[in-house]
Amino acid sequence: MAIYRVLRPLSGRGRIDRGELTRLDWLPEANIAILLRVGAIARVSPPALDALPGWEMVAVLLAPLGITDGEQLVEAVFDRLAEVVEGTGADEMDVRRWQGDMIALMRGKQNKGCGCRPA
């Protein structure tokens, strides 16, 4: 299921505030199309990991899993990611940080320069 950024507050199953990321998997496709058309939500355009400054090693580590962009990283099962990076010098805390940094980047929140460095 696609990830969307909320551009205007939504309500229905509780409130979803502006800037939040959501799958909207509880809504029919027709409703999602309307929300897109009126500018209430936008499809997240996840960056390719290897195109982000500082993410080159992360891209190399995750490529064997078929994870090449930010959306795939966020959607990936944490335990599987942690298992794959074991023994590479990265650990579970790194995986949590990568996912958290990517969520912040996809929300448009920036910190430390471009906000895209996982280190």
Are 112 and 76 spatial neighbours (Cβ–Cβ below 8 Å)?
A: no
Distance of alpha carbon 47 from alpha carbon 49, whole angstroms = 6
Single pTM value for the model: 0.74
Q: Which residues contact 22 (CB under 8 A, 6 or more apart)?
A: 3, 4, 6, 16, 41
Average pLDDT per consecutive 10 residues, the chain (119 residues; last block may be shorter): 88 83 90 96 89 91 91 89 83 90 79 47
Residue 37's pLDDT is 97
In this structure, which long-range contacts are made by residues 96-100, counting pairs with CB atoms below 8 Å and at least 24 apart in sequence? 98/58, 98/73, 99/73, 99/74
